[in-house]
Homo-oligomer: A and B are copies of this chain.
Amino acid sequence: MISQTEENYLKVLYNLTSLKGEASVNDISKQLDIKMPTVNSMMKRLAEKKLVVYESYKPLKLSVEGKKLAALIIRKHRLTEMYLVEKMGFGWENVHNIAEQIEHIQAPEFFDKMDELLGFPKVDPHGSPIPDADGNIASDNYLKLSDCKVGESVTFMAVQPSSEDLLKFLTSRELSLGLELKIKQIEPFDGSMVISYANKENEMLSSKVCDKLLVSKKSKKK
């Protein structure tokens, strides 16, 4: 058996390693706001459980098994977020904290039921892919809005990483997933972009925002 605490370490390690394949004790420490020695001993424990690859003074990796387990926790988190938004009427900026708790529920039938009621969704309310029941996750090959060029027209696919403040901001601008964004102008000085979408003309978005909006060029559906 694996505790909620251990699950949280796995999940954070999964997210941290998804970029470079490895992470440091220090990274996890900062992410979870837990002191390094605590993280260190937890990593040793998870290594004994064959979920983490640990060698003194070397970067941390998840084992294959650890990666699968983490993906299944993330599956529960994202299914829950989707359920909260689609079936219960919560806003996409209010579901993270609830999902953070519900992801630890041990009842496969509960999450299977959500999945079914939702029609087996592929992504969560923020556009992040939902791992399947075997822990396999589709890689979204989206690009950052901030990497696009003037004149391009792209589809808004995901927010990553999605903080509550950012999501509130996007809501206030009526910026929701699936919209066609037309890049009208890019300010060379600070990288902020002027975008048109839906019935909005020439809305200004800072580079900090554009950095977190993921888009696809050929407007994909589903």
Contacts and interface: CB of A to CB of B under 8 A. Distances in A.
Interface of A: 84, 87-90, 94, 97-98, 101-102, 105-107, 109-110, 113-114, 117
Q: Helix, strand, loop or mixed for chain A's interface? A: helix
A87 B113 CA distance: 11
A105 B101 contact: yes
Nearest to A105: B101
A109 B89 CA distance: 11
A107 B101 contact: yes
Determine how many copies of this chain the complex contains: 2
Closest 7 CB pairs of A and B: A98-B107, A101-B105, A98-B110, A88-B113, A97-B107, A102-B105, A88-B117
20 contacts: A84-B110, A87-B87, A88-B113, A88-B114, A88-B117, A89-B113, A89-B117, A90-B109, A90-B113, A94-B109, A97-B107, A98-B105, A98-B107, A98-B109, A98-B110, A101-B105, A101-B106, A101-B107, A102-B102, A102-B105
Nearest to A102: B105
Nearest to A89: B113
Interface centre among A87, A98, A114, A117 (most CB of B within 10 A): A98
Contacts of A105: 98, 101-102
Contacts of A98: 105, 107, 109-110
A6 B84 CA distance: 28
A108 B113 CA distance: 23
Nearest to A4: B4
A50 to B, nearest CB: 26
A117 B113 CA distance: 18
